[in-house]
Chains A and B, each alone.
Chain A
């Protein structure tokens, strides 16, 4: 369980992120989970000064566009590019767009963090 997790919609993202920026909170990182036909995105923030962590979470369909928060927190540029190329999250208006090749080379596997059919079947059966 993640403490202080707030579930939002992707349309609320920038307004919620702005509140963090206005309160001088630090952006920690994001994580993305493959839920099948959807992606779950979580962003973590740290109150500053202090070490109080909280998080924002939204779920989007694969192929749906989500706004980039790099206009508010430039430091999110790496994680948003990473989620774009490893999970296929369609991030709109990235401050720096590495075009799908920040981590991956031209001949790397495509969207390697998405679950394979074998992984999904193993999880359903209760083991590898």
Chain B
């Protein structure tokens, strides 16, 4: 047996946008064991949500993540609406769907940029992020902010999308789709990308289920599961089918996200075409009743789970948030052992880790 060394990977590393540490046990260049260490970004948001009145928690939840901020806000509202229960207007369902898919579009573009950068394709990284700017621009135009959109209120939304904005969004989305498709075709067919990703970090169908994985990471192991199949908000009215890939490796995870990027744009275009006129919010009365509820929403990285318990006051008794990366980190314990040290970066990145989400 070769001598073993323990090498820390992170918390600060060029491919890690956020801090997580992996203690890698190596035999020469081969990884034989891994222990993830988190806790660098824990902010106690769940506790803070018990101490604030329930409408203020929207702003806290929107700050759990800077990439899917809008989805956190809307998911918090969704679980509180289930406590009442409170039905949101049909137009609000479409608007939530549109902003959720807009978030997915820019999140996947962000990840694809990071992934190709980790593989050494700096020019392609800039191309993905250049077209991502167009999506951020329409997010800013419609929601008022590039990062923390803050459109959600309990009962619906605080902002509408008018006809001029809708027309502009459709033009931009069609343009982004064309450019993204061209980039995706280069990416998935490139010799070097295949050499660095095919067969790397393999997670089988059974392992993905046993380890509770979710999102594109799960679907890249051939599991056809996506919370959008539940038909929440407007998804029940849209033509949606989960995108899967059979390989379970890093290449499959790239391919699934490439497909989902285009699908997210198609869903927005379909939602714009079908969106009904009408109110954008229903007004809740009083405080959330003494009740409990759970909800699941498909975030760009996978299933986002919120549990809320009311006690009849303006404060929640408990709020629990389980983000997709929290579910996907344990799979690294299976994916990394056996790989080469040089492949660790792209394998870790392939689960699209969001640590601020994970630690809350």
Binding site for B on A (CB under 8 A): 1-2, 21, 24, 26-29, 31, 33, 42, 44, 46, 48-51, 53, 55, 73-75, 77-79, 96, 98, 101-105, 112-113, 115, 119, 122-123, 126-128
B330–A77 touching, CB < 8 Å: yes
Query: What's the least CB distance linking B127 to chain A, in Å?
Result: 35
Q: Is B249 an interface residue (CB 8 A)?
A: no
Total number of B residues with any Cβ neighbor in A under 8 Å: 48
Asked if B292 and A127 make an inter-chain contact with CB atoms under 8 angstroms apart, the answer reads no
Contact B305 A75, beta carbon cutoff 8 Å: no
Nearest neighbor of B227 in chain A, beta-carbon distance: A51
Does the CB pair A29–B322 fall under 8 Å?
Answer: yes
- Contact, CB under 8 Å: A102 / B38: yes
Q: How far is the CA of A103 from the CA of B43 in the complex (A)?
A: 9
Known: A102-B38, A119-B50. A33 touches B212 (CB 8 A): no
Question: Are B39 and A126 touching (Cβ within 8 A)?
Answer: no
CB distance from A36 to the nearest CB of B (A): 12
Q: How far is it, in angstroms, between the C-alpha of A127 and the C-alpha of B311 when the chains are bound?
A: 9
Binding-face segment, B57-65, B97-105, B171-179, B312-320: B312-320
Find out whether the CB atom of A44 lies under 8 angstroms from the CB atom of B330.
no
Instruction: Return the chain A residue nearest B323 by Cβ.
Output: A29
Chain A neighbourhood of B260, CB < 8 A = none
Contact of B42 with A by CB under 8 A: yes
* Interface pair B312/A126, CB less than 8 Å apart: yes
Contacts of A28 in B (CB 8 A): 212, 303, 305, 322, 327
Nearest residue, chain A, Cβ from B44: A112
Residue pair A44, B39 in contact (C-beta under 8 Å): no
Taken together as a complex, chains A and B put the C-alpha atoms of A17 and B144 apart, in Å, by 46
Closest-by-CB residue of A relative to B331 is A75
- Return B145 CB to nearest CB of chain A, in Å: 29
Cβ-based interface call for B160 (8 A):
no
Chain B neighbourhood of A101, CB < 8 A: 39
How many Å lie between the Cα of A48 and that of B230 in the bound state?
A: 14
The 3 A-B residue pairs whose C-beta atoms are closest, nearest first, are A29-B322, A75-B212, A31-B320
Q: Is B359 close to A, CB under 8 A?
A: yes
Q: Kindly provide the distance from the CB of A110 to the nearest chain B CB, expressed in whole angstroms.
A: 13
B223 within 8 A of A: yes
Verify B313–A123 contact, CB threshold 8 A.
yes
CB of B38 within 8 A of CB of A103, answer: yes
A78 touches B329 (CB 8 A): yes
**Given the complex, which residues of B lie within 8 Å of A112, measured CB to CB?**
44, 47
**B314 with A128: CB separation less than 8 A:** yes
8 A Cβ contacts from B197-238 to A: 206, 209-213, 223-225, 227, 229-230
Residues of B within 8 A of A75 (CB): 210-212, 327, 330-331
What distance in Å separates the Cβ of B50 from its nearest Cβ neighbour in chain A? 7
Contacts of B265-320 to chain A: CB distance below 8 A: 291-294, 296, 303, 305, 307, 309, 311-315, 317-318, 320
At the interface, yes or no: B186 with Cβ under 8 Å from chain A? Answer: no
One of B225, B293, B305 near A29 (C-beta < 8 A): B305
Please tell me if B126 contacts chain A, counting CB pairs below 8 Å.
no
Question: Are A122 and B305 neighbours in the complex by a CB distance under 8 Å?
Answer: no
In the complex, B46 has a CB within 8 A of chain A:
yes
Q: Nearest chain-B residue to A128 (Cβ)? A: B315
Contact partners of B46 in chain A: CB under 8 A: 113
A–B Cβ pairs within 8 angstroms, 13 of them: A2-B292, A21-B210, A28-B303, A48-B223, A49-B224, A49-B225, A75-B331, A78-B38, A103-B39, A105-B39, A112-B47, A119-B50, A127-B315
